[in-house]
Structure 1
Amino acid sequence: MTKPLIVGVTGASGLIYAVRTVKYLLEADYNVDLVTSKAAQLVWQDEYQKGLPSDPDLQVDFWRQETGVFSSGTLTCHRSTNIGASIASGSFATLGMIIIPCSMSTVAKIAAGLSSDLIERAADVQIKEGRPLIVVPRETPFSLIHLRNLTTLAEAGVRIVPAIPAWYHRPQTIEDLVDFVVARSLDQLGIDCVPLKRWQG
């Protein structure tokens, strides 16, 4: 069985990035361990006008509905407060982790080595184990504090992929713009499962 990939979803705006990421990973039959922060649940209500359940089993059904992928891939959801979950240990082998979208609060806590919830703990584990960690910050403008925290993560080997879409692939929809960021983020993990018109020169 393929090692799982951890997906963290925080309270930054732009939860569509998370939905599209999970969609393509499940369609490509990946094993996904998903953690949604408490703040992300609040933002979900604002952006989608619907509640995201807190129960992990109900979350699985919720994400399957949101992504429209019902049969392929394996999806395991964890409570953000469960710091005893499998993904909180370095002995649990993974392909790495992507935090999309990533709030600047989460960036700051990871940069400081804090682990106040499961997303931060899992991220800390990826860094200490030398596994890939990709953060997709969705903030503008960046303050000096933000930039310093991002620099700290980059110096620790974390890949920083800001949610900045391109236009050379001639996007026609919001989903096209989102998918560019998702594809470039997954590229950092060597995963190519998003249909994207890539630059040919």
Structure 2
Amino acid sequence: MAQDGTGIHPHEGETLDDRINAAKVGDRRALARLLSSIENGEVRFSDSLKESSDWSILALTGPPGVGKSCLLDRLLHEWVDHGLRIAVLAVDPSSPRSGGALLGDRVRMSVVDDEAKKNSVYVRSVATRKTSGSVPLVVRDMACCLLEIGWDKVVIETVGAGQSEVRCAAVADRIVLVEGPARGDGVQAEKAGLLELA
């Protein structure tokens, strides 16, 4: 359920319900405005989604450069081939100096350039801004919004995460930890932290 915290609507005459209804019928500009409102704290989506076993909100995490975006691209192709509509919230780190972010994960997602599949995939980049950690907590609200308006699953691709980074457990129903070869021994695999949650 959406709650308007400020009454601020960037488009004159457009109510929150108008924006939600437009997003439900496929208006991606309305969806972008809706998600921006959530990201900026103007709108809250109450989390009425109970923990489920169907991986409705999935976090894809792992060290920088391990291949999260490439793996996600292959998963998106498979899911779309099975008739699913998937939304991706791709989290990119903000610069500690400029505050800006590259927001470039979608470059590796060939599925968005596939004419037969791109309408079944929605990719939204999210900057960490001043958040300490691999994922800002506001993405949970954004994911709940996407599910409520009709997307089948939401994948949150985090920034490169370390062993102790468990924040993604607060925003996702399930966690997939992507690891590369030759990254530690058996003792490393037994250590507590993110591996316990994946």
TM-score range, shorter chain: 0.3 to 0.5
Provide the TM-score with structure 2 as the length reference.
0.41
* Greater radius of gyration (CA): 2
Larger helix proportion of the pair: 1
Higher relative CO (CA 8 A, sep ≥ 6), structure 1 or 2?
2
